[in-house]
Amino acid sequence: MARRHRNRDNNPDANRRQGRAIADLRQRLAGTGRVVVLTGAGVSAESGIPTFRDAQTGYWQRFRPEDLATAEAFRRDPQTVWRWYAQRRAAVQGVEPNPGHTALARLENRLSEFTLITQNVDGLHARAGSRRVLELHGNLLRVRCFSGCVSYSVGDGSPDARAAFDGDSSAAETVPEVPRCPHCGDYLRPDVVWFGENLPEQAIQRAFGAAESADLFLVVGTSAVVYPAAMLPRTALDCGATVVEINPDRTPLSTFVTLSIRGTAGEVLPRVIV
Ligand code: BV8
Ligand code: ZN
């Protein structure tokens, strides 16, 4: 389960600081034109999805995510990598968006110039009602032919699509056969961006365009160590935006940003976006 962050109730000073910072951000939001939000795995933690750097549990303890999330790992051992993603797909479909996700969907409905950029692959922003989401790292709920012939989303009704996800529900117990492309016979693979792979051109270009023209750039729930996504807040800062971080922990961004709010997405965002 995602790490529980230290309870702030027993620290009145921290609470006062957090309260002031939240009021400050609420005020900045009220008078702002172009708002851009970048989210990371921390936004989904309160939905019960472990963050990318949370310790892996059970069978997956022996692997580091970075070692599984590569094309080389898949080519070397497709069944193990496919199974890891099948379990994550099943886990994501078994949880709900949290108040942090729904607050961001509310914000999108209020603002005429709003961009939501996510590193997350869990599809929870869309399920919370966010309509325009730039998914920099793809989406767990889609698979595609490794050679690019075809792609299927969970819920697609075609027999080929259903066959692609057949093994998901039992992925925890059995090692499913990795499904193959019905056109070329290559393996199907998760439609996510692995380490060492380029990000979707249009998504990353639009993300940098938004960062360069942002008035207010909000960074929520990311350790800011994965590139090029981690460049976005710095780009926004360099281009004159106000950059605000929401994270229970410090990150490499914390010293650079205009305001750093120590708190969780599910707790802070609904108090900022009321
Ligand atoms: C690229 C999909 C060009 C898969 C992901 C050497 C060789 C090759 C590349 C590199 C290299 N050195 C560096 C690179 C670049 C590399 C990179 O950045 N590596 C890092 C590890 C140094 N990047 C790439 O490879 C990218 N591609 O550069 O292409 C290229 C091409 C060829 C050769 C060279 C370059 C591709 C990166 C995309 C990787 N795919 N996901 C999958 O999910 O399985 S990234 C993965 O990490 C997830 O998407 C995740 O979102 C992302 C970032 O992590 P975070 O979201 O920040 O999550 P994390 O767990 O780290 O942190 C959570 C945070 O939340 C914490 O701060 C925590 O305090 C906070 N938190 C916890 N609870 C809460 C909370 N916050 C709020 N509320 C809470 N309740
Ligand atoms: Zn194919």
Tally the C-alpha atoms within 13 A of residue 101's C-alpha that lie toward its C-beta. Answer: 27
CA 178, CA 82: separation in Å to the nearest integer? 7
Instruction: Show the beta-strand stretches assigned E in the chain.
Output: 35-39, 114-118, 133-135, 138-145, 151-153, 188-192, 216-220, 242-246, 259-261
- The first and second tokens of residue 19, run together, are 């309260």
Q: Is 151 helix (H, G, I), strand (E, B) or coil?
A: strand
Rg value, the chain, Cα: 19
pLDDT of residue 175: 67
Neighbours of ion ligand 2 (CB under 5 A): 145, 147, 149, 181, 183-184, 186
Question: Model's pTM, two decimal places?
Answer: 0.94
Does 47 contact ligand 1 (Cβ within 6 A)? Answer: no
119 in ligand 1 pocket by Cβ < 6 Å?
Answer: yes
Task: Give the residue, by CA position, lying nearest to ligand 1 atom 23.
Answer: 227
Alpha helix ranges (H) inside 168-274: 201-213, 231-238, 265-272
Token pair for 241:
């935006």
Domains of the chain: 20-49+97-137+199-274 (3.40.50.1220), 50-94+141-192 (3.30.1600.10)
3-state secondary structure of 215: coil
Rounded CA-CA distance 143/154 in Å is 8
- Sign of the dihedral defined by the CA atoms of residues 2, 3, 8, 10, in that order: positive
Query: Is the CA virtual torsion 190, 195, 201, 207 positive or negative?
Result: positive
Cα(179) to ligand 2 centroid in Å equals: 11
Determine which helix (DSSP H) or strand (DSSP E) holds 55, and give its type and residue range. none
Annotated active-site residue 137? The verdict is yes
- Residue having the nearest C-alpha atom to atom 31 of ligand 1: 196
81 CB within 6 A, ligand 1: no
Residues facing residue 35 across a β-bridge: 114, 216
pLDDT under 50 in the chain at which residues?
Answer: 1-4, 6-7
Angle at Cα 102 formed by Cα 52 and Cα 116, nearest 5°? 65
pLDDT of residue 172: 65
Cα–Cα distance measured from residue 144 to residue 152, given in angstroms and rounded to the nearest whole number: 6
What tokens were used for 166?
Answer: 């057949």
| Residue that has been written with the tokens 């938004």 in this structure | 210
